[in-house]
Structures are given as C-alpha cells and as structure tokens.
C-alpha cells in the first residue's frame, strides 16, 4: 500500500521507509547506545538515538529556482560552465601584457590601442608597447594578463598613451580568471544543502532555472490536556489557552515543514488513540505536547505501547525532562499501517521549545534529507551568578549583548520556570550549561546559542 505522500505501509517494525540497520525495536536499539539510562538520559545520548531513527524521505520534486528557497537539494549541482566564462578585468584601468613591466625599472609607457567594456570585447591584438582601456568585468583582450588601475596612471595630454610606475604592480594583477568562481564539471552545491539566497543567485549564474529538491516533510501535531482551550473559546476557571500549537506551528514553518494542525485532544484514551492513528496515516512525523510527565505518563504509556514502539525517557535536561520518542502506526498494532516518527513533548510551553530545538529539530532536518550544520555557539561572560546542578544539561534563557571591546556578555532572564513563555520572548539566546557544569560565578564564561538562525 502506498500513501499519497509516497510512504510505504509496513508489515513489521524493521521494514519499510524507516527500517533501521541494527535493531528491530526502538527499545532494543536504545539500550545499546552508550550512556543509555531511561531515567536520566544525557541530551547527547538522546540526540544520538534520535539521529539513528531519522531516515530521510526519498521523493523528489522539480521546482523553479525561486521556489527552491529553503528547500533541500536532492542531488549535487555540477557546474555546466565556467563562471566567469572568460578572464576579465577586476578594475577600471588599462589591460596590458605583464612582460611590459620588465622593460623599465622606473616608468612604463604604453600607447592605447583600443577599448573593452563589459559586454563589448576588444577584438584586436597588441604588443608589449601597447595597452587597452578596460572597464570592470570586460573580457581581458587577447595576450593581456595584467590590469593597471586608472588611479595609478598618468594619461598623456592627447589621451593616446599612459605612464605608470613599474613597481606599482606585478604581472597578473587585477585579472579575474575564467572559472575562478565556479569551475565547469565541479560540484557547485552539494545534495543535502538547504538553499539560501546566495545559492539561488549561484544557480542563476550557471544558467540553471529549475532544481530537484526533496519533498517537504509532513509534520502533524496536536496538544493534549482537558484544561486547554483553543483561541476563540471562553476561558473558564482553571483552563488555559493552548499556546504550544502556535509555537510548534511557527518553529515548523521556520524549518520549511509541511504542517498539519490536529487541534486539542482531550485526556481520553480513545480520543488520543484516534488522533495518533490519523496523524500517523497522514504525516511522516507526529508531535504532541503534554501528558508525558509523571501524573499522566502511565496512561499515555499504556496507550502507546498497544500500537507504538515508544520509549518514555526522563532526559537529564532542564527544562524538558519528560520526553517520549518512538514510532506510531496508523493501524491497530505496532507495525500495521503507515509508520510515523513520534515525539511526545512535555506540556510546559518553554519545555516544548527547548526540546524541539535540542532534540526534534535535527531529526526533522535529517528526515528532510538535509545535512544539518552544527549550531554556532559563542562564549559569553555571565553578568550574574547562575545556579546549576551538575548531571544535567540546562538551557536557560538569556539576553546577550556585545560590549565596545567586542566581548559578549549574557544576563539570564528573570524567571527560569518552564511555564514562563515570556522568558523566551524576552531572551535572545539559550545559555547552555553542560551536563557536568555546576554553579556559574559572575564573570565566568558560558556557552550561548543565539536565537537568530535558530528561532
């Protein structure tokens, strides 16, 4: 059976699109990862497990160059031409034969034999006593290999010759070589690249107007909780508006995912089961928030164990301790119907964002066929002491700024509670406190991960 998106139904957990190379179930696989401890799983171990299960989609689409922005390149782009196609001048000036520099120790005198503009080459030939007036981008005239910038020359009164100091430049100066930007036959861009503005321009410079990209990853998500209200509904006592679906939607959009919002699902086994199965039927990945912490964990656990292969982890991480990860199927039992990778994120709004960026993001990129780049981390001096317990990775919210000497400083935002979403809005970075780090003194350096580029 083939779904609309080209996913393959699986008869057993180890076959099909997301077949794993080593093990049958996630549980078996997880236990073989170094540092595996479901009760205090280090972030790096969780990332390593998730990475192994993130099989890329294979379907390819051909899109017009402008539609390729943010998409994942499906194959290497080999340059069909040299860019630039000819040697050309890097300056406004005069092109000549470099050997002319050796004819005099003081000044070089050359007569002007003609002119070349960008798009209007000089067709003739010259000797070492001559030069050609050239503008930036003009093809280098035959035999010429050097350009003297016009600022360095003295033009004769009748504008027929130039003079400049012989020591002012070396042979070969101010010439751009054919193929210097992109050489014909070489890979200009590699498969797995997430296309940026410069890449669109680069492909245009090669004359390429369409490219093959991987199909977009389809990600379904829903929130769980009887206390949640959707926008537009009245807020009765004890209820809260569902914010996670909005942060998840926005984070997914920034990663160029195809999103499917399945709304709020009540804390009822039958409703949850129906939502999970329909999500698996129509998406590659299913994200939920809430219901994986201690109070409700057993309930969700039981449900997922009947038709999923899901591990419930307690990550050595703050915020974001409870996380469920595995696979679910659209059928009635594990392995029946269409598979989807599953992330059961915590309910607290900050924990949702932190686990998304630190655990889910890379998996989504890998499944999209992208080659994820390590996120840049800066060192910054903390403006205040930070309490931190060794044995877990903390992602505190901070405001980073650079002083007049180029030194980065960071101040933690007020509340670090995982329910305080305003701390994310106020912050411009995560302060990343490593697994083994303990309290940080004022002035001590810490790692920071800027939201720009991430969020």
Phi, psi dihedral angles at 150 (to 5 degrees): -65, -25
Q: How far is the CB of 296 from Mg ion (least distance, A)?
A: 6
What is the three-class DSSP state of 376? coil
192 binding Mg ion? (CB under 5 A): no
Residue nearer to ligand AMP on the CB measure, 167 or 263: 263
Q: CA-to-CA distance for 335 and 307, rounded, in angstroms?
A: 8
Residue nearer to ligand AMP on the CB measure, 300 or 368: 300
Q: How far is the CB of 284 from Mg ion (least distance, A)?
A: 25
Cβ atoms 208, 187 nearer than 8 A: no
Q: How far is the CB of 344 from Mg ion (least distance, A)?
A: 11
CA torsion sign for 66, 70, 71, 72 is positive
Residue nearer to ligand AMP on the CB measure, 350 or 386: 350
Among 225, 335, 339, 369, contact with Mg ion (rule: CB under 5 A): 225
Residue nearer to ligand AMP on the CB measure, 38 or 443: 38
User: Which residues here bind ligand AMP, judged by CB under 6 A?
Assistant: 223, 225, 227-228, 240, 242-244, 289-291, 293, 295, 346-349, 419
Q: How far is the CB of 346 from ligand AMP (least distance, A)?
A: 5
Cβ neighbours around 232 below 10 Å, total: 6
Give, as ranges, the residues between 329 and 388 that touch Mg ion (CB under 5 A): 347
Judged by beta carbon distances under 5 to 8 A according to partner kind, the member of Mg ion, ligand AMP, none in contact with residue 88 is none
Residue with CB nearest ligand AMP? Answer: 347
Q: CA-to-CA distance for 311 and 304, rounded, in angstroms?
A: 9
290 binding Mg ion? (CB under 5 A): yes
Residue nearer to ligand AMP on the CB measure, 47 or 293: 293
Judged by beta carbon distances under 5 to 8 A according to partner kind, the member of Mg ion, ligand AMP, none in contact with residue 242 is ligand AMP
Q: CA-to-CA distance for 15 and 7, rounded, in angstroms?
A: 12
Judged by beta carbon distances under 5 to 8 A according to partner kind, the member of ligand AMP, Mg ion, none in contact with residue 289 is ligand AMP
Phi, psi dihedral angles at 90 (to 5 degrees): -90, -5
Q: CA-to-CA distance for 47 and 376, rounded, in angstroms?
A: 17
Residue nearer to ligand AMP on the CB measure, 145 or 261: 261
Close Cβ partners of 123 (under 8 Å, ≥ 6 residues apart) = none
Give, as ranges, the residues between 55 and 94 that touch Mg ion (CB under 5 A): none
Q: How far is the CB of 241 from ligand AMP (least distance, A)?
A: 7
* Residue 387 in tokens: 């309490």
What is the three-class DSSP state of 72? strand
Residue nearer to ligand AMP on the CB measure, 291 or 326: 291
The alpha carbon of residue 245 and the mean position of all alpha carbons in its chain are separated, in whole angstroms, by: 22
Judged by beta carbon distances under 5 to 8 A according to partner kind, the member of Mg ion, ligand AMP, none in contact with residue 382 is none
Judged by beta carbon distances under 5 to 8 A according to partner kind, the member of Mg ion, ligand AMP, none in contact with residue 344 is none
Long-range contacts of 130-133 (CB under 8 A, 24+ apart): 130/96, 131/94, 131/95, 131/96, 131/162, 132/94, 132/95, 132/96, 133/94
Burial of 128 (0-12, 13-18, 19+ CB in 10 A): middle
Cβ atoms 101, 170 nearer than 8 A: yes
Q: How far is the CB of 304 from ligand AMP (least distance, A)?
A: 15
Q: CA-to-CA distance for 198 and 215, rounded, in angstroms?
A: 21
User: What letter does residue 327 receive in the DSSP assignment?
Assistant: E
Cβ atoms 345, 363 nearer than 8 A: no
Judged by beta carbon distances under 5 to 8 A according to partner kind, the member of ligand AMP, Mg ion, none in contact with residue 99 is none
How many binding residues for Mg ion (CB under 5 A)?
4
Q: How far is the CB of 273 from Mg ion (least distance, A)?
A: 16
Q: Measuring CA to CA, which residue among 271, 282, 276, 286 is closest to residue 225?
A: 271
Residue nearer to Mg ion on the CB measure, 20 or 293: 293
Residue nearer to Mg ion on the CB measure, 225 or 320: 225
The dihedral over CA atoms of 178, 184, 188, 190, expressed in degrees to the nearest 10, equals: -160
Residue nearer to ligand AMP on the CB measure, 80 or 419: 419
Beta bridge mates, 92: none
Judged by beta carbon distances under 5 to 8 A according to partner kind, the member of ligand AMP, Mg ion, none in contact with residue 93 is none
Cβ atoms 44, 359 nearer than 8 A: no
The answer for 75, left when phi > 0, alpha when psi is -120 to 50, beta otherwise, is beta
- The size of the chain, in residues, is 455
Judged by beta carbon distances under 5 to 8 A according to partner kind, the member of Mg ion, ligand AMP, none in contact with residue 308 is none
Judged by beta carbon distances under 5 to 8 A according to partner kind, the member of Mg ion, ligand AMP, none in contact with residue 244 is ligand AMP
Residue nearer to Mg ion on the CB measure, 78 or 240: 240
Judged by beta carbon distances under 5 to 8 A according to partner kind, the member of Mg ion, ligand AMP, none in contact with residue 149 is none
Judged by beta carbon distances under 5 to 8 A according to partner kind, the member of ligand AMP, Mg ion, none in contact with residue 369 is none
Q: How far is the CB of 312 from ligand AMP (least distance, A)?
A: 12
- The site for Mg ion (CB under 5 A) is made up of 225, 290-291, 347
């Amino acid at each position: 059976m083939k779904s609309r998106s080209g996913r393959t139904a699986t008869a057993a957990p180890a076959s099909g699109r997301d077949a794993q190379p080593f093990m049958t179930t996630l549980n078996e696989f997880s236990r073989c990862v170094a540092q595996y401890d479901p009760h205090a799983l280090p972030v790096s171990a969780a990332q390593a497990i998730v990475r192994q299960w993130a099989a890329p989609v294979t379907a390819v689409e051909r899109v017009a160059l402008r539609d390729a922005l943010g998409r994942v390149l499906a194959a290497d782009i080999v340059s069909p031409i040299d860019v630039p196609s000819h040697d050309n001048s890097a300056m406004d000036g005069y092109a000549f034969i470099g050997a002319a520099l050796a004819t005099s120790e003081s000044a070089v005198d050359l007569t002007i034999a003609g002119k070349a503009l960008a798009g209007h080459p000089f067709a003739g030939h010259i000797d070492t006593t001559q030069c050609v007036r050239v503008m930036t981008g003009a093809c280098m005239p035959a035999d010429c290999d050097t350009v003297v910038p016009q600022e360095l020359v003295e033009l004769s009164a009748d504008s027929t010759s130039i003079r400049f100091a012989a020591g002012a430049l070396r042979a070969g100066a101010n010439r751009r070589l054919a193929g210097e930007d992109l050489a014909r036959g070489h890979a200009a861009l590699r498969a797995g690249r997430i296309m940026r503005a410069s890449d669109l321009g680069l492909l245009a410079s090669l004359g390429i107007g369409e490219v093959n990209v991987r199909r977009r990853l389809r990600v379904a998500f829903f929130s769980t909780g009887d206390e949640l209200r959707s926008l537009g509904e009245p807020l009765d006592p004890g209820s809260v508006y569902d914010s996670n679906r909005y942060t998840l939607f926005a984070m997914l959009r920034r990663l160029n995912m195809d999103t499917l919002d399945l709304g709020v699902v009540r804390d009822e086994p039958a409703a949850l089961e129906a939502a999970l199965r329909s999500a698996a039927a129509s998406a590659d990945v299913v994200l939920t928030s809430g219901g994986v912490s201690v109070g409700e964990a057993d309930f969700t656990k039981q449900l997922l164990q009947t038709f999923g292969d899901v591990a419930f982890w307690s990550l050595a991480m703050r915020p974001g301790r409870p996380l469920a990860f595995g696979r679910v199927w659209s059928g009635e039992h594990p392995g029946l119907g269409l598979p989807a990778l599953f992330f059961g994120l915590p309910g607290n709004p900050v924990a949702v964002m932190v686990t998304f960026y630190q655990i889910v993001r890379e998996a989504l990129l890998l499944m999209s066929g992208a080659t994820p780049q390590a996120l840049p981390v800066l060192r910054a001096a903390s403006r205040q002491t930070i309490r931190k317990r060794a044995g877990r990775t903390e992602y505190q919210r901070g405001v980073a700024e650079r002083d007049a000497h180029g030194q980065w400083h960071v101040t933690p935002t007020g509340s670090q509670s995982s329910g305080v979403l305003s701390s994310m809005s106020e912050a411009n970075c995560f302060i990343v406190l490593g697994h083994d780090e303990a309290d940080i003194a004022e002035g001590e350096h810490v790692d920071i991960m800027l939201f720009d580029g991430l969020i």
